[in-house]
Amino acid sequence: MPSLEWTDLQYFRALATLGSLPKAAERLGVNRTTISRHVTNLEQSLGAALFERRGRNLVLTAAGRDVLSASDRVDGEIDALTRQVFGRDRNLEGAIRITATSAMAKLIAADLAAFHSTHPGIVLDVMVSNTSVDLDMMEADLAIRLTRQPPENLIGKRLAEINSALYVARNSRLDLAHDEVPYIGWNNEREAPAWIRALAPRTSVVATGNFVDVITELVAVGLGFAEIPCYAAQSDARLKRISEPSSHRFGSAWLLYNPQLRGVRRIAALVDHLSGVFERLRPTVEGHGPVG
């Protein structure tokens, strides 16, 4: 069996991912000859061609795809091991990758800044995403997710109930009970949910969206009314609430992380900090306050 050099695999991964020698050379800060030499070494060790040229493009062969898939797994394992060992450091230093929706990231931005002021040795990498980031493979260290049932394989801390309510533009004169009212739905809804139709029997869908920011803007410019999480709408002076808050749609906010990070002091510090933050933000998140 051949003995593979990890350095050769790293150069191969860069070329496979970027698809061209110039881009890979720029990314790695080396010349093209260096990359070619390492890829050639890898091909000779494996006895298989990993790329084929189609015009100006380099395309992975079947063997190349297999090697890339295997190297991705190895890279993930090495990254997980590195982070696990680094977590034993007694100092509160290093990076924390945290992912949240854009509206949630805005909500806690000032509190993340306060955390960094207390722990200047920690770098916060904030990734905005509505998709499921793979905490198992350490794509993120912490995730704030809106869910009713968090994954059982992760450590989870429930932060708060995410209530939502119906909002319209501040100057709107819509009468939900009597008018024919335009509704902005979520994720390609073609009909308002039953509890909304009970309040607004003559509702018609005029638009849909899948991000809080987008739906909030559509409501603010007067396109119609929508159900928006209270934490995203309460502080927006362009909106007014026209219903009591409820937990119909969004479930709870959970702070999730991989069990391998249980003993990492900087992770524990941020978990404690965010727990306190959400205790303070609970009235905003749960929509306390009068309608209108």
Closest CA to 258 of 76, 118, 119, 120: 76
Length of the chain measured in residues: 292
The sign one gets for the Cα dihedral 69, 75, 79, 81 is positive
Question: Could you tell me which residue, 235 or 289, shows the higher pLDDT?
Answer: 235
Residue 221 has pLDDT above 90, yes or no: yes
Give tens-digit pLDDT for 8-30. 888 899 899 888 888 888 888 88
CA atoms within 13 A on the CB side of 232: 25
* 94 φ/ψ sector (left φ>0, alpha ψ -120 to 50, else beta): left
61 beta partners = none
The pLDDT score that the predictor gives to residue 183 is 95
The pLDDT score that the predictor gives to residue 132 is 60
Look-up: residue for tokens 């607004």? Answer: 200
Residue 222 has pLDDT above 90, yes or no: yes
- Per-residue confidence at 2, pLDDT binned at 50, 70, 90? low
CA 282: distance to chain centroid? 22
**Beta pairing class for 181-186 and 225-229:** parallel
Q: Report whether 123 contacts 93 (CB < 8 A).
A: no
Give tens-digit pLDDT for 63-101. 989 998 888 888 777 777 666 665 554 567 889 999 998
165 beta partners = 228
Residue 215 has pLDDT above 90, yes or no: yes
The pLDDT score that the predictor gives to residue 76 is 78
CB atoms within 10 A of CB 263: 11
Look-up: residue for tokens 């061609």? Answer: 49
> How confident is the prediction for the chain on average, in pLDDT?
86
Where do the domains of the chain lie, and which CATH numbers do they carry? 6-80 (1.10.10.10), 94-160+251-282 (3.40.190.10), 164-241 (3.40.190.10)
Give tens-digit pLDDT for 251-266. 888 999 888 888 788 9
The pLDDT score that the predictor gives to residue 239 is 94
The pLDDT score that the predictor gives to residue 93 is 83
Residue 224 has pLDDT above 80, yes or no: yes
Look-up: residue for tokens 């297999």? Answer: 66
Report the distance separating Cα 204 and Cα 206, nearest Å. Answer: 6
The pLDDT score that the predictor gives to residue 133 is 64
Tokens matching residue 58: 């380099």
DSSP letter for each residue of 116-181:
HHH-TTEEEEEEE-SS---TTTTS-SEEEEEESS--TTSEEEEEEE--EEEEEETT----TTTS-E
The pLDDT score that the predictor gives to residue 24 is 86
Percentage of the chain modeled with pLDDT above 70: 91
Report the distance separating Cα 128 and Cα 228, nearest Å. Answer: 18
Give tens-digit pLDDT for 139-197. 789 999 888 888 888 888 899 888 999 999 999 988 888 889 999 999 888 999 999 99
Report the distance separating Cα 231 and Cα 247, nearest Å. Answer: 13
CA atoms within 13 A on the CB side of 96: 25
